[in-house]
Structure formats: C-alpha cells, structure tokens
Amino acid sequence: MRNAFISGVGGHVPPRVVTNDDLVADYGVETSDEWIQKRTGIQSRRFAEAGVGNADLALPAAQKAIAQAGIKAADLDMIVYATLSPDHCFPGSGVLLAEKLGLCEGAGASFTPAMDIRNQCSGFVYGLGTASSMVKSGACEHVLVVGSEVHSAALDLSGRGRTVSSLFGDGAGAAVVSATDEDRGIQYWKCGADGRYAHVLAQKIWDISKRPFIPQDGDGNGIVAPEMMFANMDGRTVFRHAVERMCFAVISACTASGITGDDVDLYLFHQANMRINQYVAKQLGVPEHKLIHNIDRYGNTTAATIPLLMAEAVETGRLKPGMTVACVAFGSGFTWGSALVRW
C-alpha cells in the first residue's frame, strides 16, 4: 500500500534573541517578565532583522529538510507553504521560496507548483494533510510543507497591543512528505474550522467590502488605523476553545486509528501558551515525558511551531523511527487540525 511519510525535517530561527525584559527595555512594551512567564511560559523569542522576509527565513529550513530527505530541490513535486505573515498580499510566499530554491532557472528548472495555505496556527497541519493526500493519491512523490512566520514586523509594540505582541516570535520549519510502500508515515489527519469565531483573532488590515478597501487621504495615501493594522485577539475566548478543540482532536485521532493515548510516544502540541498545553495534557492524561516545548525559547511561531518541534526532536534524538507521534494545532479562524504519524 502506498503511504506518505516524513522523510526530512528542518528548522531555522533568526539569531536575534529578544527576552521579555528586552521587550520592555528596547521596545517600550508595557509588560513584565513576570507577567509573560506566569501567563504564557514564554521567556524569549527570536526577531528577524529588517530586510529578512518570510521566504528568506523559510529557505534554510527547507534546505535542511530536503537534504535530510536525501533528495534535491528539483525532485519536489509541490510546495505547500503555510503562513499568516506572507511576504506580500500576493503572490504567495511559496513561489518566492521556489525561486530561492533555484527551481525556476537553468536547464534543470522544474517550475514546481507552489501554493500558500492561510490557516494560521493550524496551517502546518492543514499542509501536512494536503501533502499526505497528494502523495497517497499518486499525484506526487515528494511534497515540501513549510510553516514560516515573520511576526516581528507586524506587532503593535505599544501598551495597546501588549496582549498580542508579548506572545509571538519569528521562525520557520519544513518537512518533506514522500511516498513509501512501508507501513509507516501519516496514518491519520483531520482538520476543522468554525468561522463563527473569525473575528476573535484577526489581523484585518483592510476591508475589501469598502470602496476603496483602505481609506485614503487627499493625496491618495492609504490610512490604516492601528486597530486595523495589527492583530486583535480576545485571548480568553481563544484559550477556552483551544483547550476544548485540541483535546477533542487528539481523542478523535486516536479513536479513528484504533489506538489509545498510551500508544502515542510523543505529542507535538501547537505552542501558543504553555498553560493551554498543560490543560490539554492534564485532560488527556499525557505524562510530561511525552511532551516537548519550544514556546519558552521562541514564543508562538504559529505555522512554524510544529515543524520546529519536529526538527529539534529529530536533531536531539527524541524522535526516532518507529515512534507514534500526535500533532495537534488550533488557531485563528477558528481552525484546528490533528495528525498521527508513525515516524
């Protein structure tokens, strides 16, 4: 039977470490190390320098994943690129990455198709599911799934924006999903969405129903008010739904696959808040040794949290062939997703 397995993973974070104290001292955010650590578990995050775009950050992660898969970039049949902070409104960052990977020039140009997924924190799981289906159907041999975010450029670092700006960091992760006849790989995936809560966590920037879509001054310059320019979030509502949906998504994945939580060797939870993950772990009875985190060091890197966890777990030997891995994510939309992977 044709299966889809993860043949390579890679992660990349920008070098600049920004601690909670740095947010206060360097950016003037009205917060404290104590508040952020107590409410979220975040100690620091990475910020990319000005001039570094989303696909720039994704490139090293993608190259590492491709090398670990033992293939060349030109062997990819598709790029699926998950982000909520794309380089531009359009075109998507997937085509920018394809160009950076050298897929669009020279005799061996493959002109590999690239598509962006706009599903925020659950974007990587949506991408993994898409890649798995493309490979299992026989349409593709190798699909690169990317989760990459440059949040630092779009954070409201004033007192008004502290609830959001304290949480997010920059980073990128990637995985190559490849075909195999072995009994391993992505055994199950399922995603969900509830648009009734679309307004609860959103960065609207413009309103396409308005004429023009961004208000203009007399000289034709666009005017974007801060509440439109930056993300807005009702944190408590997101928190409550995240715990419920993530628990249900893991239970559904195990039930549908005929296994129990005890059969899972490693849980890769989306990294939005350490407290969310502690609640989920408690509800599901997941012991601490089956969890790994990076929120303490990277903050919430949205689409990049899970592939970054994967890359680190492989590098440190926590994730080994034969292990059963449960991935689960929840975020803006609301959207969520889970996947069970036999590594």
Query: Does residue 301 contact residue 85 with C-beta atoms inside 8 Å?
Result: no
**Does 246 help bind ligand UT7 (rule: CB under 6 A)?**
no
Q: Which is nearer to ligand UT7, 334 or 343 (CB)?
A: 334
- Among residues 191, 270, 277, 293, the one annotated as catalytic is 270
Tokens (6 digits) for 139:
């349409």
Could you report how far apart the first and last alpha carbons of the chain are, in Å? 17
Alpha-carbon 277 to chain mean position: 16
Q: Contact letters (x/-) for ligand UT7, 143-172, by CB under 6 A?
A: -------------------xx--x------
Angle formed at CA 121 by CA 5 and CA 224, multiple of 5 degrees: 140
**Does 335 help bind ligand UT7 (rule: CB under 6 A)?**
no
93-100 and 54-69 helices, crossing angle to 10°:
60
Q: What is the total count of residues that contact ligand UT7 (CB under 6 A)? A: 21
Q: Is 277 a catalytic residue?
A: no
Cα–Cα distance measured from residue 19 to residue 48, given in angstroms and rounded to the nearest whole number: 14
Q: Is 3 a catalytic residue?
A: no
Q: Contact letters (x/-) for ligand UT7, 251-280, by CB under 6 A?
A: ---------------------xx--x----
Q: Which of the stretches 49-57, 189-197, 238-246, 284-292 binds ligand UT7 when contact is defined by CB under 6 A?
A: 238-246
Q: Is 300 a catalytic residue?
A: yes
State the pairing for strand pair 114-117/201-202: unpaired
Least distance from ligand UT7 to the Cβ atom of residue 297, Å: 16
Q: Which is nearer to ligand UT7, 118 or 184 (CB)?
A: 118
Name 35's Cβ contacts closer than 8 Å, sequence gap at least 6. Answer: 166
Q: Contact letters (x/-) for ligand UT7, 289-318, by CB under 6 A?
A: -----------x-x----------------
Tokens (6 digits) for 218:
């007399």
Q: Of the candidates 5, 2, 7, 13, which has an alpha carbon nearest to the alpha carbon of residue 305?
A: 13
Give the footprint of ligand UT7 on this chain (CB under 6 A): 31, 35-36, 39-40, 121, 162-163, 166, 201, 235-236, 238-239, 242, 272-273, 276, 300, 302, 331
